[in-house]
Amino acid sequence: MDKKFFITTPIYYPSAKPHMGHAYSSIAADVIARFKHIQGYDVRFLTGTDEHGLKIQKAAESDNKNPKDFCDEISETFINLTKTLNLSNTDFIRTTENRHKETVQKLWSVLEKNDQLYLSKYAGWYSVSDEAYYSEDEIDEIEGKKIAKSSGSVVEWMEEESYFFKLSEWEKPLLDFYKNNPNFIKPESRKNEVVSFVSSGLKDLSVSRTTFNWGIPVPNNKKHVMYVWLDALTNYVSSTDYFNNHNGFWPANVHIIGKDILRFHAVYWPAFLLAANLPLPKQIFGHGWILSGEEKMSKSKGNILDPIKLIEEFGSDEIRYYLMKDVIFGLDGKINLENFKTTINDLANNIGNLSNRIFTILQKNYECKIPHVSSNHTVNSSLIIDIKKLIKFMDNYEIHNYVKEIHFYSSAVNKYVNDNEPWNKKTNSDQNIQNILFSSLFALRNIFILLYPIMPKVCEVFLKNMNINKPLLNLVNTDLKKGEQISKPDLLFKKYD
């Protein structure tokens, strides 16, 4: 297999247990990874935890733990979440691992060798919660507190010796890069945001700290630990073992991130890479937020939906389907239980019902075998899905449209079944019935292949019942073998009151 595809999620802060926002980033990345998989790519899918920095050190202190023990504990809950969400990740990186520390120190040395770093003093605003520096015009004062306008988090004044990265030198090369690679930042609105930020001028970036020690030491100056974002962003490269036995996966095809961390990924990260003469990721996609009411779901706001509890109650496939269908990928989306139930009931009434109807007749009259279709039978045009359209949706990360298209397709198949009445022996010859059932079964199998990236569990069960062990995006009817024994799946989708 030579077509490689490398996709990443953000690496999550193990400062508290995972919530729905984290689950959302991971599910979306998994859907894309699995889609590439059924297209026949050799897929590398990376996720992990971002374990250094003052935010984590403080969270550990308030829990009376040393930071490493604290991270071990919470990182474990993120590893468990990959299982709960049924992610197909091929790696899980922790920034406290040696493979990562070595890569970051190597990157630092390359930047130093390329004359991209200098020692000076930082004086300015810093948000521990965002692990971000803010300029005076990005700050507001509310009820006597200084906060960052973009995130609402508290900032504090910081003054200390620091290494600086010559970010200002990369303003023009970055703008040229965005221009020459118009698909680098997606969606378009996010690109505009980044271009306008860079065009307004870049200052050199403080990339080390001396007032705490929970971080990767700067080579040859142990007084300093590296800025957590320089450390964290490098995880994508560490996981490919780039500086040793590079596994061929860098540069990544896409970094899936939330819109709040766009600046780090679309400005700092490409600047570090350009400065180190390393290849840049091909694309960065900034999705929106999952909102609870009107606000971003976050620990500090106390409006968290616990993905683990929800999945225990309703199932991972169902949560994945709901988030992917009802939230427009790229925009903010509100979620609630009522809408969730409506969406899953629609699924059961449409696709679940279709499967049930076809298999009931097959089981009753044809021993649940693939019908003996006549050799001159052609599949009705309403049952041929526009696969190019679906691929385009996925390539543009219009995941919601991809899911909706499958839903329309299933409605068209239901209509075909209604119109042709394969249960009606008065109006149909037996051969006719077998032809109709064959065509409907072909369409039904397509639905479950297409739905596999979204709902892998139920689709695997369905496809196994049809003797398909590995779903591939090869939607032809010639691989349905007449007379082959298949089995009726048990209830596929539950309905809710």
Please say which residue, 49 or 86, places its beta carbon nearer to ligand MSP: 49
Residue 315's nearest CA partner among 455, 122, 191, 425 is 455
Question: Residue number with the shortest CB distance to ligand MSP?
Answer: 258
The residues, any chain, with a CB within 8 Å of residue 72's CB and separated by 6 or more, are: none
Please say which residue, 51 or 460, places its beta carbon nearer to ligand MSP: 51
Site residue total, ligand MSP (CB under 6 A): 21
Among 205, 225, 233, 323, binds ligand MSP (CB under 6 A): 233
Question: What percent of the residues of the chain are helix, what percent strand, and what percent coil, each to the nearest 5?
Answer: 50, 15, 35
Span from 7-15, 82-90, 314-322, 429-437 in contact with ligand MSP (CB under 6 A): 7-15
Nearest-approach distance from CB 75 to ligand MSP, in angstroms = 12
Nearest-approach distance from CB 189 to ligand MSP, in angstroms = 16
Residue tagged 């689709």 (tokens):
459
Nearest-approach distance from CB 247 to ligand MSP, in angstroms = 19
Structure tokens at 21: 């926002």
Among 132, 226, 232, 344, binds ligand MSP (CB under 6 A): 232
Residue tagged 């700067």 (tokens):
218
Site string for ligand MSP, 291-330 (x = CB under 6 A): -----xxx--------------------------------
The residues, any chain, with a CB within 8 Å of residue 135's CB and separated by 6 or more, are: 124, 125, 203
- Element containing residue 353 per DSSP (H, E): helix 353-366
| Residue 129 lies near ligand MSP (rule: CB under 6 A) | no
Nearest-approach distance from CB 358 to ligand MSP, in angstroms = 38
Q: Which of residues 257-296 bind ligand MSP (CB under 6 A)?
A: 257-258, 260-261, 289-290, 296
Q: Kindly report the length of the chain.
A: 497
Structure tokens at 292: 């609870």
Nearest-approach distance from CB 50 to ligand MSP, in angstroms = 3
Among 12, 133, 164, 268, binds ligand MSP (CB under 6 A): 12
Spatial separation of the C-alpha atoms in residues 334 and 157, rounded to whole Å: 35
Q: Which of residues 27-66 bind ligand MSP (CB under 6 A)?
A: 50
42 forms beta bridges with 4
Nearest-approach distance from CB 349 to ligand MSP, in angstroms = 29
| Residue 460 lies near ligand MSP (rule: CB under 6 A) | no
Provide the CB-side half-sphere exposure for 356 (13 A, CA).
12
Span from 231-239, 309-317, 386-394, 439-447 in contact with ligand MSP (CB under 6 A): 231-239
DSSP letter for each residue of 207-227? -EESS---SPEETTEEEEEE-
Among 6, 7, 10, 207, binds ligand MSP (CB under 6 A): 10
Nearest-approach distance from CB 407 to ligand MSP, in angstroms = 24
Residue 8's nearest CA partner among 79, 108, 105, 87 is 87
Nearest-approach distance from CB 226 to ligand MSP, in angstroms = 13
Spatial separation of the C-alpha atoms in residues 488 and 106, rounded to whole Å: 56
Structure tokens at 145: 């507190």
Spatial separation of the C-alpha atoms in residues 479 and 317, rounded to whole Å: 27
Binding site for ligand MSP (CB under 6 A): 10-13, 21-22, 24-25, 50, 232-233, 235, 257-258, 260-261, 289-290, 296-298
